[in-house]
């Protein structure tokens, strides 16, 4: 079993953190994982992405040509990675910022108004956690609880009171939009 | 399962060095290895070590010279252009028979190049980027786990043979995160003594450390003794990993990041019935000539895959010596080939 996820968006949307939380959760449930970021000028406002590979065997290439799940937080990310999703895979489309779909009959499209839902929760910055919740649902191999624990480990130490709770809620909201298909 | 931490390759090398007893680090920032400085700045003082951001790469490597002469396990790190700047100092370290560890988290070149992963520094690392007849022990990790382990091995080998050791990584390994089960913490006081070090000559004959000998016969003899140590390293310290070589018809040779991508190529190739195997050099110097030569006797082709125009390829051809065809496939400038692209190349020679 080997699955790959690409999280992509604008710099600042928290896509690298979303991927890191997923990778940590995978590690904590005993999987092998790699987290490969795009590094460089992306960190200063351009587009950013990371690739997370989860496997029950040692991982060779951390570069993935055809990911199983893509989390597209903005239009350019959907354009770039949508066509690359493996047939039968899933694309999480951030409907708050993208007014089109992936346009493929062979992949599952999960429409997530991530920014609106985040605003409803009173914390616009958790849009990435809403999308990550949907990724976890679509992926179906990492329990949501493990992802929540990994989230706490990643953001907990520096988070102000209440932020962890709203991040948990954000993961739940996103997860609910992507009914697990199973491994 | 051992306790694992999610770390970048950069952090793994830095922590591996600290755990191996590194207590003096000198560096100057450059992408994609800045996390090493950051990590050392935070963690080295906690174990009583010295972290210093030098005014330049040249200053940093010469600070290493001083710390190494004083007998301390010392390290510097940089990325390609910065490592070029260190070459004079590295030659002096080699000429003074001083142990030191240098990390090169290589990037696209030549010149300022870019910050993407590349393997264009193989010649510089293994063939003497600085002046004079010297060698570096060159280790090439392909995972964050191996990066942490090889950081420790680099210090051990460097101390044992009094030869500087270089870890040749690249931007991808430096930046990516993986679970790492860290090696045990070692107390510097428990390491083998260095009676040659400059520790104050009270009550003993003074030690002398220099890379300088005006008398040609003296300098020749120093060189001969050094070369004898190099032969010993070649005889004892070659390290490599083989994957699916038993019945391989096409043998891939790849190191570092390309070495791990090649493992995916082997797995996919085998799934499709292609008899492909992999030899992954872990020591680039000493290079695994003998095991590669033995495999070359029984494969159809040895395909070298590198993020360069073909640098390790020269060592591969020296090893194979015409026993079979030795095609090459590479990318440059920070472009990393995908497993499918490499597999397509493998099939051309199957």
B5-187+225-235 and B241-349, same CATH topology: yes
Contacts of A40 in chain B (CB under 8 A): 31, 115-116
- Per-position DSSP letters for B260-293, written without gaps between them: HHHHHHHHHHHHTT--EEEEEESEEES--HHHHH
How many CA atoms, within 13 angstroms, populate the side-chain half-sphere of residue A116?
Answer: 8
Which residues from chain B sit within 8 angstroms of residue A30, using beta carbons?
A: 1
For the domain B5-187+225-235, what is the CATH code? 3.40.50.970
Q: Residue B263: which of A24, A27, A60 has the nearest Cβ?
A: A60
Is 70 exceeded by the pLDDT of residue A183?
Answer: no
Which residues from A are below 8 Å from B258, CB to CB?
none
**Around B91, how many Cα atoms within 13 Å sit in the side-chain half-sphere?**
14
ipTM of predicted complex: 0.94
The distance of A99 to chain B (nearest Cα, Å) reads 31
- DSSP letters along A110-127, please? EEE-HHHHHHHTT-GGGH
* pLDDT band (50, 70, 90) for residue A180: low
What is the set of domains in chain A, with CATH numbers? 2-177 (3.40.920.10)
Report domain extents, chain B: 5-187+225-235, 241-349
Percent of chain B with pLDDT over 70: 99
User: Nearest by CB to A39, which of B32, B336, B339?
Assistant: B32
* CA B345 vs CA A65, B250, B266, B307, B350: distances in Å: 17, 10, 12, 15, 9
Residues 6+ away with beta carbon under 8 Å from B55: B28
Tell whether A35 lies on the interface with B, counting CB pairs under 8 A: yes
Distance of alpha carbon A85 from alpha carbon A7, whole angstroms: 12
3-class SS string, A123-167: CHHHHHHHHHHHHHHHHCCCCHHHHHHHHHHHHHHHCCCCHHHHH
Contacts of A149 (CB under 8 A, 6+ apart): A25, A28
Contact present, B166 and B130 (Cβ < 8 Å): no
Tell me which residue in B175, B179, B338 faces A39 most closely, judged by beta carbons: B175
Cα–Cα distance list, B16 to B181, B185, B266 (Å)? 10, 9, 29
pLDDT in the model for residue A40: 63
| Cα–Cα separations (whole angstroms), residue B132 to A110, A162, B65, B87, B274 | 62, 63, 17, 11, 45
The CA distance from A122 to the nearest CA of chain B, in Å, is 31
- For the stretch A128-168, pLDDT in tens is 999 999 999 999 999 999 999 999 999 877 777 789 999 99
Q: What is the pLDDT of residue B170?
A: 97
Cβ pair A17, A78 in contact under 8 A: no
Ranges of residues in chain B with a pLDDT under 70 are 1-2
pLDDT per residue as tens digits for the range A67-126: 999 999 999 999 999 999 999 999 999 999 999 999 999 999 999 999 999 999 999 999
Cβ within 8 Å, pair A32-B260: no
pLDDT band at A45 (very low <50, low <70, confident <90, very high): low
Q: Give chain B's length.
A: 350
| Contact in structure between B241 and B123 (CB atoms under 8 Å) | no
Domain B241-349 has CATH 3.40.50.920: yes
Q: Taking CB atoms and an 8 Å cutoff, what residues of chain A touch B340?
A: 65
Position A104 scores a pLDDT of 96
Q: Do B1 and A36 touch (CB under 8 A)?
A: no
The 10s digit of each residue's pLDDT in A11-41 is 889 999 999 999 999 999 999 999 999 876 5
DSSP string, B52-89: EE-SSHHHHHHHHHHHHHTT--EEEEE-HHHHHHTHHH
CB contact, 8 Å: A49 with chain B? no
Alpha carbon of A108: minimum distance to chain B alpha carbons (Å): 24
Judge: A23–B261 Cβ closer than 8 Å, yes or no. Answer: no
Interface of A with B in 54-113 (CB under 8 A): 58-63, 65
């Amino acid at each position: 079993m080997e699955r790959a996820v690409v999280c992509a968006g604008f710099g600042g949307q928290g896509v690298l953190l979303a991927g890191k939380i997923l990778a940590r959760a995978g590690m904590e449930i005993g999987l092998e994982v790699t987290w490969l970021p795009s590094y460089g000028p992306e960190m200063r406002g351009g587009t950013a992405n990371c690739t997370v590979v989860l496997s029950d065997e040692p991982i060779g290439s951390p570069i993935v040509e055809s990911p199983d799940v893509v989390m597209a937080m903005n239009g350019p990310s959907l354009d770039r990675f949508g066509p690359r999703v493996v047939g039968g895979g899933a694309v999480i489309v951030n409907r708050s910022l993208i007014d089109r779909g992936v346009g493929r009959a062979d992949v599952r499209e999960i429409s997530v108004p991530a920014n609106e839902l985040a605003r409803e929760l009173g914390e616009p910055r958790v849009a990435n956690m809403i999308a990550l919740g949907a990724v976890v649902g679509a992926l179906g191999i990492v329990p949501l609880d493990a992802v929540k624990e990994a989230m706490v480990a990643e953001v907990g130490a520096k988070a102000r009171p209440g932020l962890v709770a709203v991040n948990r809620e954000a993961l739940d909201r996103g997860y609910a939009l992507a009914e697990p298909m199973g491994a | 399962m051992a306790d694992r931490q999610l770390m970048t390759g950069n952090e793994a090398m830095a922590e591996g060095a600290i755990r191996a007893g590194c207590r003096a680090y000198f560096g100057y920032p450059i992408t994609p290895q800045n996390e090493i400085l950051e990590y050392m700045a935070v963690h080295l003082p906690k174990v009583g070590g010295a972290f210093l951001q030098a005014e330049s790469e040249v200053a940093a490597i010469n600070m290493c010279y001083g710390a190494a002469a004083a007998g301390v396990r010392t390290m510097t790190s940089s990325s390609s252009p910065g490592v070029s700047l260190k070459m004079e100092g590295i030659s002096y370290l080699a000429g003074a028979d001083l142990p030191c560890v240098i990390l090169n988290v290589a990037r696209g070149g030549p010149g300022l190049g870019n910050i993407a992963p590349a393997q264009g520094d193989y010649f510089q690392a293994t063939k003497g980027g600085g002046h004079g007849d010297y060698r570096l022990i060159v280790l090439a990790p392909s995972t964050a786990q191996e990066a942490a382990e090889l950081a420790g091995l680099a210090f051990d080998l460097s101390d044992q043979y009094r030869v500087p050791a270089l870890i040749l990584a690249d931007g991808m390994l430096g930046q990516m995160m993986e679970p790492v089960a860290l090696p045990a913490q070692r107390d510097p006081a428990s390491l083998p003594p260095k009676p040659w070090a400059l520790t104050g000559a009270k009550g003993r004959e003074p030690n002398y450390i220099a890379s300088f000998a005006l008398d040609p016969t003296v300098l020749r003899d120093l060189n001969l003794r050094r070369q004898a140590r190099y032969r010993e390293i070649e005889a004892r310290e070659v390290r490599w990993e083989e994957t699916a070589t038993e019945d391989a018809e096409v043998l891939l040779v790849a190191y570092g990041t390309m070495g791990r991508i090649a493992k995916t190529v082997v797995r996919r190739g085998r799934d499709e019935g292609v008899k492909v195997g992999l030899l992954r050099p872990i020591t680039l110097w000493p290079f695994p000539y003998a095991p590669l030569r033995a495999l070359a006797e029984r494969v159809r082709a040895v395909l070298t895959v590198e993020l360069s125009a073909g640098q390790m390829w020269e060592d591969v051809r020296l090893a194979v010596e015409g026993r079979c065809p030795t095609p090459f496939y590479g990318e440059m400038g920070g472009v990393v080939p995908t497993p499918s692209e490499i597999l397509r190349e493998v099939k051309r020679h199957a």
